[in-house]
Amino acid sequence: MSEKILVTRSSMPGFEEYIEEIRPLWDTHWLTNMGAKHQELEAQLKDYLAVPNISLFSNGHMALELAIQAMGLKGEVITTPFTFASTTHAIVRNGLEPVFCDINSEDYTIDTTKIEALINDRTSAIVPVHVYGNVCNVEEIERIAKKHELKVIYDAAHTFGVKYKDSGIGCFGDASIYSFHATKVFNTIEGGAVSFKDEEFGLNLYRLKNFGIRGPEVVDGIGANAKMNEFQAAMGICNLRHINDEIEKRRKVYERYIKNLSNIEGIKIPSIQQDVLPNYSYFPVVFDNKAFGATRNEVYNRLLENNIVSRKYFYPLTNTFECFHGKFDVGLTPVALNISKRVLTLPLFADLKIEDVDNICNIILSKENRC
């Protein structure tokens, strides 16, 4: 039996490199509470991501949940169901009502032509999602937000290091949320961040992630505990040293998939958007069952039989979760529903061997696997 290939694999520095990075912690005994490693990583990320301000968090979900809270949003928030659970849950856990907008069928981001029809006097914000590294139509979202005086918080979990028209992706909207989970292009084991422009928002965000504490003897708000610790920050410092090489390795894997799966009837593969510097975070394939001769689920199972773990990402849609049973009408997001039933993300990580990519593609294209 061949070694199992997972849909992703965490990038890690050399063992000795990480040991050297954390060695000073045994001298200082400063393990959390915005220590030297935390401050160093924050400064490095602000520079690398080319954003005006950034705040580190214990994970991406808390970054989003507390960013929403720091803005003091109320009522309804327009978002998309074609995303990870965290996006929707962060909205709901803030006592807000998610209003689901459909996605477009080209890059799977929010369909900006359908946003304005969902806006009413209870709408306070838009939470679009950059999907698979694809960038939302930020110009149109900005136009809509300004017209209707809405806040915009981007879920940028998939777009670490991505640039649009030479601007860091975290420069758009009022805030952008990053995930540094172990499965992402860049990881701090667990972790996340918020990039933002407004200094007052940043102060509110800081208080919320640190128990509402403003100073040694001043607690003027009710907050949570969402600080990134020093071991996480140290892993981030190490991984950031190698991030460009890691993305270059991912590019080679991505392009091999493109070469192998291009011009295959019944398969839609990704393309790089115009004016976007990509990070090659995911490789989604959408199957046309009749034209290809096999369903997404059949391909998924055949790969699994060969010790290859792909992922039905994103399925199910968040507006169909059992915890929201009967609350939302999935018929209002037909494109998202259709894509969710046909999409499969293939294994993609920096250390994936080219011969393994070829094998994955051969299994997918094998005529014996199709009717």
Res 229: pLDDT: 98
Res 109: pLDDT: 98
Closest CA to 96 of 87, 107, 108: 87
Q: Which residue has the tokens 């990075």?
A: 21
Ranges of each domain in the chain: 15-241, 243-310+346-369
As given in the structure block, the two tokens for residue 50 are 């080319």
Question: Could you tell me the mean pLDDT of each successive run of 10 residues in the chain, 371 residues long?
Answer: 88 98 98 97 98 98 98 98 98 98 98 98 98 98 98 98 98 98 98 97 96 90 96 98 98 98 97 98 97 97 98 98 97 98 98 98 86 61
Domain 15-241 has CATH 3.40.50.720: no
Residue 98 to residue 92: CA distance in whole angstroms: 7
Res 117: pLDDT: 98
Domain 243-310+346-369 has CATH 3.90.1150.10: yes
How does pLDDT run across 158-207, given as a tens digit for each residue? 999 999 999 999 999 999 999 999 999 999 999 999 999 999 999 999 99
Q: What is the 3-state secondary structure (H, E, C) of 304-339?
A: HHCCECCECCCCCCHHHCHHHCCCCCHHHCHHHHHH
290 CA to centre of own chain: 31
Res 155: pLDDT: 98
Residues near 326 by Cβ (< 8 Å), separated by ≥ 6?
none
Q: Is the dihedral of CA 230, 133, 85, 348 positive or negative?
A: negative
Res 1: pLDDT: 44
For residue 131, what is the DSSP state?
B
Same fold, 15-241 and 243-310+346-369: no
Contact 82, 101 (CB under 8 A): no
Contact 250, 347 (CB under 8 A): no
